[in-house]
């Protein structure tokens, strides 16, 4: 954590640089910035969240980051150079970032749901192709090697959908359980399924699968971004284990 917030009169001064992947950096109206407010405490007890409107003096944004997929999204770096915010822009108390984030499962659940959609799109795209493409005298869906792949795609998509629904249901009754275990589990599982389905779609589409004329490669690029967006597969799993 390389962004710091120092108490200054009736406010805080923020300094630091955020990754070039911050979602909507430069086009959003405001940002929730996590910064360290105490150096004499362990990291998890010294992180705080600040609400920073985009027109606050000292906040600057990098140019749009070019990614391998997610063409419609916008990501850029945020630089904070002596950004002064009033104390009331501190969300909760100092050091409460971790505690507050443990009550917000919605981001991971939303991402997970979108990855179920991507897994489904890859499955339906491959299914449709496999019914039409004829090789060795029959549609390729009638070759068992292809049929088994399609069955796995359907099964995994349905499993991911149910995990996401379970996380969403849990969020209504037990937000902390959802935020610490079920939502990250749903997000990482749905991304795994989306990546796997997109890879399989590329395979089922054969040579056509690696061309830009077909959507399978786009699905794979979009799915792969999910691996590290909103914490990586590994970090999500290590986090979940802390609450088992």
Ligand X SMILES: Cc1cc2nc3c(=O)[nH]c(=O)nc-3n(C[C@H](O)[C@H](O)[C@H](O)COP(=O)(O)OP(=O)(O)OC[C@H]3O[C@@H](n4cnc5c(N)ncnc54)[C@H](O)[C@@H]3O)c2cc1C
Q: Which residues bind ligand X (CB under 6 A)?
A: 18-19, 21-23, 75, 225, 228-232, 234-235, 238
Shorter beta-carbon distance to ligand X: residue 4 or 231: 231
Shorter beta-carbon distance to ligand X: residue 94 or 230: 230
Question: Minimum distance between the CB of residue 5 and ligand X, rounded to whole angstroms?
Answer: 15
Interatomic CA distance for residues 10 and 162, integer angstroms: 48
Shorter beta-carbon distance to ligand X: residue 16 or 209: 16
Q: Using alpha carbons only, how large is the chain's radius of gyration in Å?
A: 22
Q: b vs e for 186-195, b when ≥16 Cβ sit within 10 Å of the residue's Cβ?
A: bbbbbbbbbb
Question: Minimum distance between the CB of residue 97 and ligand X, rounded to whole angstroms?
Answer: 12
Question: Minimum distance between the CB of residue 33 and ligand X, rounded to whole angstroms?
Answer: 9
Question: Minimum distance between the CB of residue 143 and ligand X, rounded to whole angstroms?
Answer: 36
Question: Minimum distance between the CB of residue 218 and ligand X, rounded to whole angstroms?
Answer: 15
Shorter beta-carbon distance to ligand X: residue 81 or 234: 234
Shorter beta-carbon distance to ligand X: residue 121 or 225: 225
Residue 146: phi and psi, rounded to 5, are -80, -45
Shorter beta-carbon distance to ligand X: residue 75 or 149: 75
Question: Minimum distance between the CB of residue 183 and ligand X, rounded to whole angstroms?
Answer: 15
């Amino acid at each position: 954590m390389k962004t710091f917030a120092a108490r200054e009169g009736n406010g805080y001064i923020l300094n630091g640089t955020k990754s070039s992947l911050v979602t909507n950096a430069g086009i959003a109206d405001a940002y929730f910035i996590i910064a360290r407010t105490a150096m004499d405490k362990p990291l998890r007890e010294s992180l705080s969240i600040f609400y920073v409107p985009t027109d606050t003096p000292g906040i600057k944004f990098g140019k749009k980051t070019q990614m391998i997929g997610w063409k419609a999204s916008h990501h850029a770096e945020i630089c904070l150079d002596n950004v002064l915010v009033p104390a009331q822009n501190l969300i909760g108390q100092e050091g409460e970032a971790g505690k507050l984030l443990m009550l917000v499962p919605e981001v991971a659940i939303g991402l997970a749901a979108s990855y179920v959609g991507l897994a489904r799109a890859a499955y339906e795209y491959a299914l449709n192709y496999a019914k039409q493409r004829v090789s060795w005298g029959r549609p390729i869906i009638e070759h068992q090697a292809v049929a088994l792949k399609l069955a796995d795609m359907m099964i995994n998509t349905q499993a991911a959908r149910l995990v996401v629904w379970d996380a969403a249901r849990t969020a209504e009754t037990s937000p902390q359980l959802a935020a610490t275990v079920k939502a990250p589990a749903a997000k990482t599982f749905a991304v795994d399924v989306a990546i796997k389905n997109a890879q399989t779609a590329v395979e089922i589409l054969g040579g056509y699968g690696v061309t830009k004329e077909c959507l399978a490669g786009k699905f794979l690029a979009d799915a792969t971004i999910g691996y590290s967006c909103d914490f990586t597969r590994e970090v999500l799993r290590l986090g979940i284990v802390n609450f088992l």
